Structure 1
Amino acid sequence: MPKTQLDWLGVTALWVGAMVEAVKAGGLPLMTGAPAWLASNIWGYVPAILVSFYIVVALYRLWRPNKAGTYDSVYPVQQPVYPGKQPVKPDPEPQLREADTKGRTFLSSNMTPQDLMDMCANKTDAHAERIVAPYIGKWYRYSGLVHNVIVFGRYVQVRFEVPDLRVIKANIPGNLDLADVLHKGDKLEVAGRISEIDSVTFALADAEVIAR
């Protein structure tokens, strides 16, 4: 099947040339009211011209074919561009601290949980996940006041006080006794691996207590 306008033009020229040749070979009379110039001898050259044009088009397509002949190469799909909008791109690689004695590389303290959550504000989930992807799995130290302590099976979840409705939490495995000694308002510093970031949540997994 023809794929481009040039292909269709060549096929049309071949078809018209064949029709003209067929009419002339059949010696069909002109229809009543048809212009007299249609009976001119010049029409004898029309099929040759049109067929020659088709051959030129065919040779051109043979020497310069579409890449892989795919739909996208023939009809390229462009991403829509909206005024004032730019495609969402991941942030540059986060600034990291030097590795500690356990070989863990920590995210710089210049980047706060609030900063990371703000990156997701007014974004779709898909866009937000792409933006914060470089930070997921990095280690982070956080210090704050205890808001709540919850025991989930084999780990303790500590939620910290924040001035808004956001949630900053750390999941601390194994140390179940921590639930008995921590009180609301206690100061606690933890280190953990960033496992979740969205517009209202910042979570650390595999966390451990650094200081109380």
Structure 2
Amino acid sequence: MKQIIIFLLLIIVGIMGYNAYSKYKRFNPPGSEYQASKPIDLNYFDPNVVEDYHHAVARLNGYAVQMWSFHGIDVRAPKKDNAATKEALVKYEELMATLKAFEAKLEESASLKEQGLTNMQIKSLGQNEPKSAEDQKTKNQMLLDWLSQSPNDFDFGMGEQGPLVYELQGILINMGYELEHDGIFRIATSSAVEAFETKNGFYADGRMDPITAYALLAN
């Protein structure tokens, strides 16, 4: 009798375990937890972007669970091609696009911080070209603030590359100098800097230095 009771208990435990596992699988479709494929900066200078990113991840994961649990549609790896699945995928792609927009900013910030930049410096660089003279003036002031705190960051020449080179190239281009806007300090950039230095009575060596940078930004 004791053995029968133990056997029945094992069956009951097994059924309960199976039901629990089935429930877990139902509400946790394969790969339902989204993971960024590259490092992201969760200490981004704008905490609202980090918060929006987390909300976007939660919405994406929640939608994947909802579609799997109530409709049997795996939006991450769909196996059907019916109308319901297509409609679900359209919504999923919209949620993913929103998430990726926030993620791109955090990925870029993480990459810049690997190069040694701080939140203040990343903020001053921005991600978009100024849309007006007032925007450019504001960006220049942020770069001037960076220059005043870390003048050595503005001392470089041939071979240097990065977002700071890119921003200073943009200023030179707006002044009429011809060079590629690619963030790499090559011959064309050096020639433009040398021409600017000559025009403003500086020692013309074609290198960027704090004095030349200040003249560019305060122009």
Same fold at TM > 0.5: no
User: Under a length normalisation based on structure 2, what TM-score does the superposition of the two structures give?
Assistant: 0.26
User: Under a length normalisation based on structure 1, what TM-score does the superposition of the two structures give?
Assistant: 0.27
Higher helix share: 2
Higher strand share: 1
